[in-house]
Amino acid sequence: SKYMMIDGMKVRFSDEKNILTVIRNAGIDLPTFCYYSDLSTFGACRMCVVEDQWGGIIASCSTPPKDKMEVKTSTPKLYHYRRTILELLLASHCRDCTVCDKNGKCSLQDLAYRFGIRDIRFPNSACQDPIDNSSYSIVRDPSKCILCGDCVRVCNEIQNVGAIDFAHRGSNMIVSTAFGKNIVDTNCVNCGQCAAVCPTGAITIKKNTREVWEEIFDPKKRVVVQIAPAVRVALGEEFGYAPGKNLIGKITAALRKIGFDAVYDTSFTADLTIMEEAAELIKKIESGNNEFPLFTSCCPGWVKYVENQHPELMEYVSTCKSPMQMMGAVLRDYYGSIDKEDGKTTVSVAIMPCTAKKAEAAREEFMTEGRPDVDYVITTQELADMIKEAGIVFNELHPEGEDMPYSLYSGAGVIFGATGGVMEAAIRRVVEDKSHQSLKEIEYSGVRGMKGIKESEVPFGNSVLRVAVVSGLQNAETLIKKLQNGEVKYDFVEVMACPGGCIAGAGQPFSHLKDKKKRTEGIYDVDGSEQIKCSDCNPAVIDLYDNVIKDRAHEMLHVHYQK
Ligand code: HC1
Ligand code: SF4
């Protein structure tokens, strides 16, 4: 077998694509700013340099391993080289770390500390371009950009959006939108994946915690909150728990301590979504209008993408509101009369793994009498911030149950948080046989797993239901191309903008692929121990239809996007 000599140590390798991976596998934490295994290799930051046996300096991220190759990772030359890079980066960087949104989670700050940088030999030349605060989801601060290009590559390669790119040359180079427009005026879909990979504070997630605190402090307000499926298996990472640990009980306790008046579960309205979406699917199939599939509509990044790049497909996107917006509508309806009685105003907050949900909540279509149905969306990370700010010792909280009636969910509702979950939930709804055996067959039909594009066929009446599941908008684009040139045909397609689905949303704690897999397992474990497996068996859903929605399903649960 092949091996390399790393710092005099024999390290075997097989098909690793670069020596950086071999070195990291050997337990050496070589620093990088611009390397992500699922993006193309850029080789710009030069932090991962190593010395070869002839004293040459090479970037380990862009050098493939060769048999019997010798490298050193820590030499006087490398020590000075890396420190100089850091000093140069810090010289062109706004350094107001104490009030930076990325304070404590910034790779540049971490490495400056790790390498003991205390003074900088070069004058400060940070970019003076203004902060772009125009988006509901992300904030761009060019003075914090180190030109690693991670955001540019994620936006292009993973999302096929290309809202941001390098502009100008040489020392004037910046990351910018086309024509320097505000990000809100571009085709950005608000997925936040650029902020998730940004190593510094150059692109961060827009925070709404200050507004939520003010509402909680206001005695005339009743502040109710809904919590998305994916949040429960990731929030713990901010408090030392392993990824995938379901902490819904502790989260509920924390939300009550923070001062929320009622806690509801978006998994409940995920069940409601399935009821409506399955009905829509069956109606579409029966109508014979089957050239294009029905597409899911719960991911606002995807909806925006269709509006921007494929308006011709908009008519095939389900008219169902997302579970978050369905809950928004249900809660407005429920608290409307209560507000009249006690003179309080109900404020509706949602905790989501997602940054695009902030933009979704602000859409015109989700306003009732000039007010958004969901007033504020905060991310998993922002909730962790609020818990810390309040001084709550999260790990010592005793689990509590959420509030009835809008918190009872089936396993189908909760698996929405993982890629393929909406599809699996819908299949459970439409199959006649809901036995354990049948549900297991659906589980193994190919809808689960982290693959970017999945296909499956399940028995449906006298025929089959042809389905596909995609995550990552580049994958969605690939599928759309195939559909449009007739290569493939489906009845129903689930699309989530973030690779891996909501568990990998940009609002979650920063994660690698292995963490995402653990969160996915965590979500399926919740489903595994639920007694109710199918949305149509959820008694709270049945009750809501019978006693509240009645003939108002169309106005309460559906939307017509009018860009
Ligand atoms: Fe999702 Fe959804 S599953 S979109 O991934 O349909 O954000 O978790 O809340 O609305 O339920 C996100 C997660 C979430 C909605 C549901
Ligand atoms: Fe691109 Fe998503 Fe960032 Fe918008 S939020 S710039 S679409 S990566």
SS (H, E, C) 51-109: EECCCCEEEHHHCCCCCCCEEECCCHHHHHHHHHHHHHHHHCCCCCHHHCCCCCCCHHH
Beta bridge partners of 348: 224
- List all residues 6 or more positions away from 530 whose beta carbon is below 8 Å from its beta carbon: 409, 410, 411, 414
Nearest-atom index, ligand 2, CA of 192: 5
Q: Are 324 and 199 in contact (CB under 8 A)?
A: no
- List all residues 6 or more positions away from 367 whose beta carbon is below 8 Å from its beta carbon: 373
Nearest-atom index, ligand 1, CA of 296: 6
Q: Which ligand places an atom closest to the C-alpha of 305? A: 2
**Best residue for ligand 1 mutational test, from 193, 205, 352 (most atoms within 8 Å of Cβ):** 352
**d(CA 377, ligand 1 centre) in Å:** 12
Q: Which ligand places an atom closest to the C-alpha of 326? A: 1
**d(CA 391, ligand 1 centre) in Å:** 28
Q: How far apart are CA 187 and CA 172, in angstroms?
A: 25
* Confidence at residue 411, expressed as pLDDT on a 0 to 100 scale: 96
Q: Are 31 and 48 in contact (CB under 8 A)?
A: yes
Q: Are 389 and 427 in contact (CB under 8 A)?
A: no
Determine the residue type at 426: A
Per DSSP bridges, beta strands 9-12 and 3-6 are antiparallel
Query: Which pTM does this prediction carry?
Result: 0.95
**d(CA 543, ligand 1 centre) in Å:** 22
> To which residue do tokens 């990998």 refer?
504
**d(CA 513, ligand 2 centre) in Å:** 20
Nearest-atom index, ligand 1, CA of 267: 11
Q: Are 427 and 457 in contact (CB under 8 A)?
A: no
* Confidence at residue 211, expressed as pLDDT on a 0 to 100 scale: 98
**Which alpha helices (DSSP H) does 375-472 contain, by range?**
380-389, 411-414, 421-430, 436-443
**d(CA 417, ligand 1 centre) in Å:** 6
**d(CA 537, ligand 1 centre) in Å:** 20
Q: How far apart are CA 263 and CA 252, in angstroms?
A: 7
* Confidence at residue 290, expressed as pLDDT on a 0 to 100 scale: 87
* Confidence at residue 563, expressed as pLDDT on a 0 to 100 scale: 65
* Confidence at residue 170, expressed as pLDDT on a 0 to 100 scale: 81
Q: How far apart are CA 388 and CA 384, in angstroms?
A: 6
**d(CA 437, ligand 1 centre) in Å:** 27
pLDDT digits over 338-374, tens only?
Answer: 999 999 999 999 999 999 999 999 999 999 989 999 9
Q: How far apart are CA 504 and CA 243, in angstroms?
A: 11
- List all residues 6 or more positions away from 91 whose beta carbon is below 8 Å from its beta carbon: 120, 121, 122, 123, 124, 125
Nearest-atom index, ligand 1, CA of 231: 8
Give Cα separations from 274 to 417, 420, 421, 490 (angstroms). 14, 13, 11, 18
Grouping H, G, I as helix, E, B as strand and the rest as coil, residue 80 is helix
Q: How far apart are CA 86 and CA 139, in angstroms?
A: 24
**Which alpha helices (DSSP H) does 127-182 contain, by range?**
150-153
**d(CA 165, ligand 2 centre) in Å:** 11
Determine the residue type at 435: S
Nearest-atom index, ligand 2, CA of 158: 8
pLDDT digits over 389-420, tens only?
Answer: 999 999 999 999 999 999 999 999 999 999 99
Domains of the chain: 3-74 (3.10.20.740), 87-205 (3.30.70.20), 209-268+323-408 (3.40.50.1780), 279-318+410-541 (3.40.950.10)
* Confidence at residue 481, expressed as pLDDT on a 0 to 100 scale: 97
User: Which residues have any ligand 2 atom within 6 Å of their CB?
Assistant: 138, 154-155, 159, 161, 163-164, 188-194
Q: For the chain, give the longest Cα–Cα distance.
A: 82
Q: Are 331 and 374 in contact (CB under 8 A)?
A: no
User: Which residues have any ligand 1 atom within 6 Å of their CB?
Assistant: 228-230, 266-267, 270, 298-299, 322-324, 352-354, 357, 416-417, 501-502, 505
- Other beta carbons within 10 Å of 46: 17
**Best residue for ligand 1 mutational test, from 298, 382, 407, 419 (most atoms within 8 Å of Cβ):** 298
Among candidate residues 484, 508, 502, the one with its CA nearest the CA of residue 383: 508
The residue ranges of the chain whose pLDDT is under 50 are: none
- Other beta carbons within 10 Å of 554: 10
Q: How many CA atoms lie within 13 A of 351 on its CB side?
A: 31
Among candidate residues 276, 325, 332, 265, the one with its CA nearest the CA of residue 298: 325
- List all residues 6 or more positions away from 142 whose beta carbon is below 8 Å from its beta carbon: 127, 129, 130, 131, 132, 174, 175, 176, 202
Q: How far apart are CA 426 and CA 422, in angstroms?
A: 6
Grouping H, G, I as helix, E, B as strand and the rest as coil, residue 6 is strand
- List all residues 6 or more positions away from 287 whose beta carbon is below 8 Å from its beta carbon: none
**Best residue for ligand 2 mutational test, from 134, 157, 176, 190 (most atoms within 8 Å of Cβ):** 190
Q: How far apart are CA 268 and CA 425, in angstroms?
A: 13
Q: Which ligand places an atom closest to the C-alpha of 299? A: 1
Nearest-atom index, ligand 1, CA of 327: 10
DSSP state of 157: I
**Best residue for ligand 2 mutational test, from 159, 166, 477 (most atoms within 8 Å of Cβ):** 159
Q: How far apart are CA 360 and CA 356, in angstroms?
A: 6
Beta bridge partners of 465: 458
Among candidate residues 317, 325, 333, 419, the one with its CA nearest the CA of residue 372: 325
> To which residue do tokens 């940088």 refer?
117
| Residues with active-site annotation | 277, 280, 298, 318, 357, 360, 365, 502
Q: Which ligand places an atom closest to the C-alpha of 176? A: 2
